[in-house]
Copies of this chain bind each other. A is one copy, B any other.
Amino acid sequence: METQTRPEFVVELTKKSVDLSRWYTEVILKGQLADYWQIHGFQVVRPYGFALWENIQAGLDARFKATGHKNAQFPLLLPESLLTKEAEHVEGFAPEVAWVTQAGKEELNERLAIRPTSEAIIMTMYSRWIDSWRDLPMLLNQWCSVLRWEKTTRFFLRTSEFMWQEGHTAHRSAEEAREETMRMLEIYRDFVEGELAIPVVPGRKSEAEKFAGAAETYTIESLMPDGQALQSATSHYFGDRFAKAFNITFQDMDGVRKHVHTTSWGLSWRIIGALIMVHGDDAGLILPPKVAPVQAVIVPIPGRGGEDGGVTEAVNAAERALRRQFRVEVDRSDRSPGWKFNEWEMRGVPLRIEIGPRDVRSGQAVLVRRDSREKSSAPLDGLVAAVEARLADVHAGLFARARALREERTSSVATVAELAATIREQPGFKMASWCGDAACEQTVKERTGATIRCLPFDSQGQTGACLVCGRPGPHRVLLARAY
């Protein structure tokens, strides 16, 4: 096979296992996912990276719509006086807000904030739109970019401007709003695990780690290969706090005017950073098949002395057949097969299909999985089924590998001293018992750099001694350093 004689995999790429951070930046630039912009902390998302986001958007949007949500578009700017209406909320965002102070040649009377999130904007509109129980629930979502001025930034993971979706809903009762909060968290969990092949731990945030202004925050946490956690999506229950700050009331069926109960939930393009880090390897990106911009690349293999041997026709036929169901590319460029193999591996295409004169003679194609490099043959007239099966294999393979790595890097600790030692030597997820006291939480953070990522749903009910004070700890918590 040609693969035996090809040059080493993209030799100029830093090895992921050696320097994750440098590898991460390199695969993003070389893989043409994104590029730098002239303003610190801003990025340009190139077509290959943006197609990934479009596929993520399409998958989530369909789930949102299937559960009754509708999209709307709210403005980019809000007056300073509005942002400051909910005190705890503004306190959380004030240091990160970009301010518009001039328009054309005029100085504005009041500074306008570029939205760091849209709670204040949307709640203002809800107070106009909601009047009766008939108007509820109000289930809106917005796809947009928001801006939070960041000092230390990284492609996708932390950018001053980032794209996300933010869902904002209003309900008749606390119970219904809580159900919504959990429904959306479960949609995120299902999507991130089922489509992006990233295993996550769903749970509740501690008081200290909650979203600014929320009554309860829920999260899904994933583990990066360097042992750091990444908050992958959040869902917030606000109670009637925003409803009171923004005066959102409705006349209920019993004739009484009541405050609504609200939620919000969001997932941003940082999830792209997560999937790059979780799945990639020393040869480059590995994109999860369900959202990969190119799911399979066909590489025609020229015969000795340039004979065609029916390859052109077989490649065209394969492309036609596959295009109906998959996002497929044919690399017809004049590069060598070895160059193409490296290039498309580096760019993370989940499946490569090689078709040469020998393959045409035997009526077969060679399929190569990106994750395991496992090769198999498939009949040229049965490619659709074979590609479908292999892509499912790649998805399952990626998920299993990520879960195994996470399990390997998840352990229990009994004390803060033990946490401090192990988090340095074996970074990863650490489970411990916690009394629930904010002071103990603060001690953990100061002494170890780790934070309570969440109170995992499936670990509650287990009690033990608090890792700091030793008192009985009713909470089982997931600890890690975090992105």
Interfacial residues, chain A to chain B (CB-CB below 8 A): 35, 37-39, 42-47, 50-51, 53-54, 70-79, 82, 94-105, 111-112, 114, 121, 124-125, 128-129, 134, 140, 145, 147, 149, 161, 163, 333
Provide the residues of chain B in CB contact with A45, threshold 8 Å. Answer: 72-74
CA distance A100 to B96 in the complex (A): 13
Let me know if B42 and A77 touch, CB within 8 A. Answer: yes
Taking the closest CB of chain B, its distance from the CB of A434, in whole angstroms, is 33
CA distance A39 to B45 in the complex (A): 30
CA distance A351 to B16 in the complex (A): 58
For the residues of A in contact with B, the DSSP-based class is mixed
Given contacts A38-B79, A38-B124, contact A73 B44 (CB under 8 A): yes
| A104 cross-chain contacts in B, Cβ below 8 A | 94-97, 149
What is the CB-to-nearest-CB distance from A160 to chain B, in angstroms, rounded to a whole number?
8
- A38 and B103 in contact, given A72-B45, A125-B44 (Cβ under 8 angstroms): no
Distance of A405 from chain B, by nearest CB (Å): 31
With A54-B71, A70-B51: A76-B112 Cβ-Cβ less than 8 Å: no
Q: How far is the CA of A96 from the CA of B102 in the complex (A)?
A: 10
Alpha-carbon distance between A147 and B114 when the two chains are bound, in angstroms: 12
B50 and A72 form a contact (CB under 8 A)? yes
Rounded to whole angstroms, the CA-CA distance of A58 and B412 in the bound complex is: 50
Q: Beyond A39-B77, A112-B39, A161-B75, is A105–B100 a contact (Cβ under 8 Å)?
A: no
Residues of chain B lying within 8 A (CB to CB) of residue A147: 76
25 A-B contacts (beta carbon < 8 Å) = A35-B125, A37-B75, A42-B75, A42-B76, A42-B77, A44-B74, A44-B75, A45-B72, A47-B70, A47-B71, A47-B72, A54-B71, A76-B76, A76-B114, A95-B105, A97-B103, A97-B104, A98-B112, A99-B101, A99-B103, A100-B100, A101-B102, A102-B111, A104-B149, A134-B333
CB contacts (< 8 Å) of A112 on chain B: these are 39, 98
Q: A99-B103, A128-B35 are in contact. Are A50 and B73 (CB under 8 A)?
A: yes
Task: Find out whether the CB atom of A72 lies under 8 angstroms from the CB atom of B101.
Answer: no
Q: B residues within 8 A CB of A35?
A: 125, 128-129
CA distance A42 to B113 in the complex (A): 14
Q: In the complex, how many angstroms separate the beta carbon of A147 from the nearest chain B beta carbon?
A: 7
Task: Determine the chain B residues whose CB is within 8 A of the CB of A121 once the complex forms.
Answer: 37, 44
**CB of A293, distance to nearest CB on chain B (Å):** 9
Q: Is the CB of A50 within 8 A of B76?
A: no
By a CB distance below 8 angstroms, the chain B residues around A76 are: 42, 76, 114, 145, 147, 161
Q: Which residue of B lies closest to A105 (CB)?
A: B95
Bound CA span A103–B160, Å: 11
Nearest Cβ distance between residue A199 and chain B, in whole angstroms?
Answer: 28
What is the distance, in angstroms, from A107's C-beta to the closest C-beta of chain B?
10
| Assembly CA distance A71 to B45 (angstroms) | 9
User: Which residues of chain B come closer than 8 Å to A74, judged between CB atoms?
Assistant: 44-45
B99 and A102 within 8 A (CB): yes
Cα A41 to Cα B77 with chains together (Å): 11
A122: nearest residue on chain B (CB-CB)? B44
B residues within 8 A CB of A114? Answer: 76, 100, 114
Q: In whole angstroms, how far apart are the Cα atoms of A111 and B79 in the complex?
A: 19
Measured between beta carbons, the chain B residues less than 8 angstroms from A102 are: 98-99, 101, 111
Bound CA span A99–B51, Å: 30
Residues of B within 8 A of A37 (CB): 75, 121
A139 vs chain B, min Cβ distance (A): 9
Complex: chain B residue closest to A138, CB-CB: B47
Q: For A54, what are the chain B residues with a Cβ–Cβ distance below 8 Å? A: 71
A46 to B333, CA, bound (A): 47
Residue ID in chain B nearest A43 by CB atoms: B75
The reply to whether A39 and B75 contact each other, CB–CB distance below 8 Å, is yes
Bound-complex Cα distance A54 to B73 (A): 11
Q: How far is the CA of A73 from the CA of B34 in the complex (A)?
A: 9
Distance from A180 Cβ to chain B, minimum over Cβ atoms (Å): 17
- The list of the 9 closest CB pairs from A to B, nearest first, reads A47-B70, A45-B73, A103-B149, A99-B102, A42-B75, A98-B103, A101-B101, A95-B104, A37-B75
